[in-house]
Amino acid sequence: MSIDKIYADKWQSSSKFFFDNGYYSQMAEIVKPYKTVLEIGCGVGYSTLSLIKDGHKVIVVEKNHNCVQMTKNLLREKGHETEVNILEGDIVDESFRNSLISNQEVDAVICWNPGTQLDVDSLLHYVPFMLEYGLTSEQIKENPASSYTEMMLWYACKMAKTMGAPIHIIDRCGKVDENTVDYYQTLGTEVGFSHFQIGTMEAETISDGGVPLQSQGVLMNVHRMPVIFVSVLFE
Ligand SMILES: C[S@@+](CC[C@H](N)C(=O)[O-])C[C@H]1O[C@@H](n2cnc3c(N)ncnc32)[C@H](O)[C@@H]1O
């Protein structure tokens, strides 16, 4: 099984849990004023479904082909397939970003729960972009996953700014402290946003790296862990 398929299957359980618990609709409160949204990384489509149910017109970009297929299947099953424009591509790729900037008019960009599955080949592919963002080789070696996420968010913010749109980020954290606030404040300022709004939401997650336990189709609670969602809006 490909690494992208494994990732999509794992995210399926986590994001269904978020959807069933109403977390996506809580995340979406702050973007209510923005009708047309560009969602970067839809995962398997539960976040997209929530945005559609809230009345948004949604354009999705997603680089994982399995996630694109699972999103299409979910939206078809729920009767919303034709309401979404799903574009398969990687926002780290400059030509893809430029085509979005030239061809899409949006009121806001959304990037919720950023991240990806990295194997050796994909890590090697992204290292030059992480270095361009400003990380050192040591930082990348020490934490490739968070290096990827920081780099991806930087490109997402730069793209939103060029599109003249605000960006809403939701990330999962163990705790929110001064360093968290400093990190986002620096990111927004560096990219050129002048307003910054940060909030938190306490929640639970089942994405603890293990296979979630199910019994007769019912998810058992043993893998539940507390999580803090950090919500950041740059305007
Ligand atoms: C953890 S999932 C979150 C999905 C969704 N936003 C949610 O909250 O349920 C992150 C998604 O972003 C996608 N992604 C990561 N990097 C990306 C990139 N550079 N361009 C497009 N999609 C990306 C991944 O493939 C994955 O499906």
With contact defined as beta carbons under 8 Å apart, do 196 and 233 qualify? yes
Residue whose C-alpha is closest to residue 180's, from 135, 141, 232: 232
158 close to ligand 1 (CB < 6 Angstrom): no
CB 207 near ligand 1, within 6 Å = no
The first and second tokens of residue 210, run together, are 């293990």
Measured in degrees and rounded to the nearest 5, phi and psi for residue 94 equal -60, -40
Quote the ligand 1 centre to 52 CA distance (angstroms).
18
Q: Which domains does the chain have, with CATH numbers?
A: 3-115+145-234 (3.40.50.150)
Closest atom of ligand 1 to CA, residue 8: 27
Q: How buried is residue 107: exposed, middle or buried, by Cβ count under 10 Å (0-12/13-18/19+)?
A: middle
Q: How confident is the model at residue 173, as a pLDDT?
A: 86
* Beta-strand runs (E) in 113-153: none
- State which of 67, 123, 153, 201 you would mutate to test the pocket of ligand 1, scoring each by most atoms of that ligand within 8 A of its C-beta: 67
As a whole number of angstroms, the distance between CA 101 and CA 15 comes to 28
Q: Is residue 62 in contact with ligand 1, taking CB distance under 6 Å?
A: yes
The model's pTM: 0.94
Does 151 contact ligand 1 (Cβ within 6 A)?
A: no
Q: Is 64 in the pocket of ligand 1 (CB under 6 A)?
A: yes
pLDDT at 87: 98
- State the amino acid at position 161 in one-letter form: K
Are the C-beta atoms of 135 and 151 separated by less than 8 Å? yes
Look at residue 218 in the predicted model and tell me its pLDDT.
Answer: 67
Q: Is 112 in the pocket of ligand 1 (CB under 6 A)?
A: yes
Ordered per-residue pLDDT tens for the chain, 235 residues? 788 898 998 899 889 999 999 999 999 999 999 999 999 999 999 999 999 999 999 999 999 999 999 999 999 999 999 999 999 999 999 999 999 999 999 999 999 999 999 999 999 999 999 999 999 999 999 999 999 999 999 999 999 999 999 999 999 987 889 999 999 999 999 999 999 999 999 998 885 555 555 666 666 665 778 899 999 999 9
Q: Is the CB of residue 188 below 6 angstroms from any atom belonging to ligand 1?
A: no
